[in-house]
A and B are shown apart, each in its own frame.
Chain A
């Protein structure tokens, strides 16, 4: 039994013409072990973010479901924290208050001083010392997402869900925060499910990359193992002989096969086929 399993999940929306339904993804099964970092890449509209929201409990699958530690996931909870693409910090709260809101919810028995110490620890961890009393408006995109990461890590969730966390951050800052994320994750070793468009980001961070075919009726087409040993850094990964093999493979899939596989499978009616496992050695 895997730690986190997305079990035969499908999602359909009523089509905008009002006739019938549009199937976003169909019969998706993903098994994730504890402490694993798994990334999903796919074109827009393949339902990556919907999948993440279903794991978070913010959305429900039309069929199938999510099992965490042998129990079915019903609704959102503190064991599955999301880092949002648009940060989703409360603009009326300071940096400290935003994180403290989460910490107080996760540890309701803690005293004020315990909460403050915990919050300050995570503020220091993301290098935001001195910005505790600032409001999100006064922060740059990179700093906002640092607060988002600090908030997510501070409640020590079983599963961390990253929804294109660095998409709105400039490329240089993105690299820095990616390495900060690696350091925090090395210390905490949460199970991570990330959704991204960025192939380099996926290779740098993940143990496995799931490639989704195009929607409608998207599914996991291939699973690529990132066979680059940790610890990784932006500089070291690109030196590794597998880096460009993996990168080329992923981009090939996205450009050539994503549409082809999806269409072929749905036409044949065999969308339940297991995804192809890709390993480099």
Chain B
């Protein structure tokens, strides 16, 4: 016990001395005493540093060393494009070929990211739009498909949830359609609407429709009878019954359905862009692969992750507004 009581007294002293010595690192003292357990971000930062360092070391390649090679061999290598002669006469690894040799390191990806982000809103050509535009295209494509699907699914779901017989009659169809991968619809959709723009949105729509539909119907169907009894006794009009009792009562279940739909739509939008060649972050990943720019591929993957995180946190904020505790 005595050892434990000493510990809380130590950190302030250490951090004080640490901050007085170097104002830039006031938390270093605390971290060393072992308070990492109750501040998870320290562990997060630590893991990130370890990962980046490991990645860097694993992909590190030394500078080209021409000693021991004959002039003929060097010329052959230059001819093959493995090395280039710099203006001062020494040979270097060919930076263009380096890009596709092995996995690029974090510095190369950072360089690529800096490059892409610096002209995020520049349109260089028909298929070469800045990353800002690509994110915008993907988010709007995703948003359109998800919102329309959610609206349709909630309306249909409430309708089915209120009518037990109809729900049981339609449920087999929902159960068959629900597990179909939204991408499986793509050829049929493309053939039907004959326009990749709309096909991409419809794929997202298909991905987002079924989970919300099924859970909304379930949520409305299994709404506690007491709430409906109160509504019946109070003689609430149908719109009031729907908006004051049924929808808010089923809201937690509906939001759960929307969350599943949200995830599946987000997963569907990237391959849809790849396959349809529609500009967006999914397309970026594919086009960088076609360019054999692996740094670009990694950058695109990171962008997809970031877009997902931002959309997801926005969704959770909205969800928090409509859910309640029993």
Contacts and interface: CB of A to CB of B under 8 A. Distances in A.
A75 interface: yes
Contact of B226 (A81, A84, A105): A84
Main SS class of interface, B = helix
A88 B226 contact: yes
A101 B234 contact: yes
A interface, size bucket? 20 to 34
Interface in B229-261: 229-230, 232-236, 244-245, 248-249, 251
A57 B234 CA distance: 12
B227 interface: yes
- Best-surrounded residue of B229, B233, B244, B326 (most CB of chain A within 10 A): B233
Interface residues of B, number: 18
B79 interface: no
Interface in A72-126: 75-78, 80-82, 84, 86, 88, 90-93, 101-102, 105-106
A129 B235 CA distance: 27
A277 interface: no
B244 A86 contact: no
B248 A92 contact: yes
Given A90-B249, A91-B324, A135-B324, A75 B232 contact: yes
Contacts of B232: 57-58, 75-76
A59 to B, nearest CB: 10
A210 interface: no
A168 to B, nearest CB: 13
Nearest to B244: A101
B249 A78 contact: no
Nearest to B326: A91
Interface string B291-326: 000000000000000000000000000000000111
A81 B249 contact: no
B237 to A, nearest CB: 9
A137 B245 CA distance: 17
B251 A81 contact: no
Nearest to B245: A90
A137 B234 contact: no
Nearest to B325: A137
Question: Nearest 4 pairs between A and B by C-beta?
Answer: A88-B226, A92-B324, A105-B234, A76-B232
14 contacts: A56-B233, A76-B229, A76-B232, A78-B233, A81-B233, A86-B226, A90-B227, A91-B324, A92-B248, A92-B324, A93-B248, A101-B236, A102-B234, A105-B234
